[in-house]
């Protein structure tokens, strides 16, 4: 894949995110569904790798770029991840003082709800690829219960799930 096209597709995904994870539906559609450059398993691995390190949730984009085009792809992913921050500086200058207006507040709430819906719609195929037996169902249900009921960083949940999987496979 052309590195410039890869960068532009990744920027398109990162420009639509608020917390990093909301870019997942766009990345999945562009690279798993339409272009078949990644599998759901590779995408979920990229997300897990991105969550294990420090930094924003959207840093999985770097791993996606690496899967697709090696080191140049990882660089394109990194640049795509930081591009919105630079554009936000310009946007904040333009919108200064206007975001407190009810119209803008409503737009922000609507965008947040749409992003949540997109995340849920794309979580189902990724989960279906990862969950194959009762053990997988129990780990997924347990992780969801812990994340919803407690203030625990997802890194600890991922680590516990990995440890449980290693113990189960023995």
Q: Global pTM?
A: 0.60
pLDDT tens string 93-137: 777 777 777 887 788 788 778 877 877 777 777 787 778 889 988
Q: For residue 113, what are the domain limits?
A: 3-128
Shared domain check, 92 and 136 = no
Shared domain check, 121 and 108 = yes
pLDDT tens string 45-81: 898 888 777 666 678 899 999 999 999 999 999 999 8
Shared domain check, 85 and 15 = yes
Shared domain check, 62 and 11 = yes
Shared domain check, 83 and 63 = yes
* CA atoms within 13 A of residue 72's CA, in its CB half-sphere: 8
Shared domain check, 122 and 45 = yes
- Other Cβ atoms less than 10 A from the Cβ of 12: the count is 14
Shared domain check, 106 and 157 = no
């Amino acid at each position: 894949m052309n590195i410039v096209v890869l960068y532009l597709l990744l920027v398109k995904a990162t420009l639509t995110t608020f917390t990093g994870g909301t870019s997942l539906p766009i990345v999945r559609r562009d690279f798993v569904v339409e272009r078949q450059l990644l599998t759901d398993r590779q995408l979920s691995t990229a997300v897990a790798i991105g969550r294990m390190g420090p930094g924003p949730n959207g840093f999985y984009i770097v791993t996606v770029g690496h899967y697709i085009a090696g080191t140049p792809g990882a660089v394109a992913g990194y640049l795509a991840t930081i591009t919105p921050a630079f554009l936000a500086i310009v946007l904040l200058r333009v919108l200064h003082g206007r975001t407190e207006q009810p119209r803008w507040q409503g737009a922000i709430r609507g965008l947040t709800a749409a992003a949540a819906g997109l995340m849920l719609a794309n979580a189902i195929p990724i989960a279906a690829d990862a969950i194959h037996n009762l053990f997988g169902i129990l780990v997924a249900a347990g992780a969801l219960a812990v994340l919803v009921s407690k203030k625990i960083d997802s890194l600890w949940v991922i680590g516990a799930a990995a440890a449980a999987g290693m113990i189960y496979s023995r």
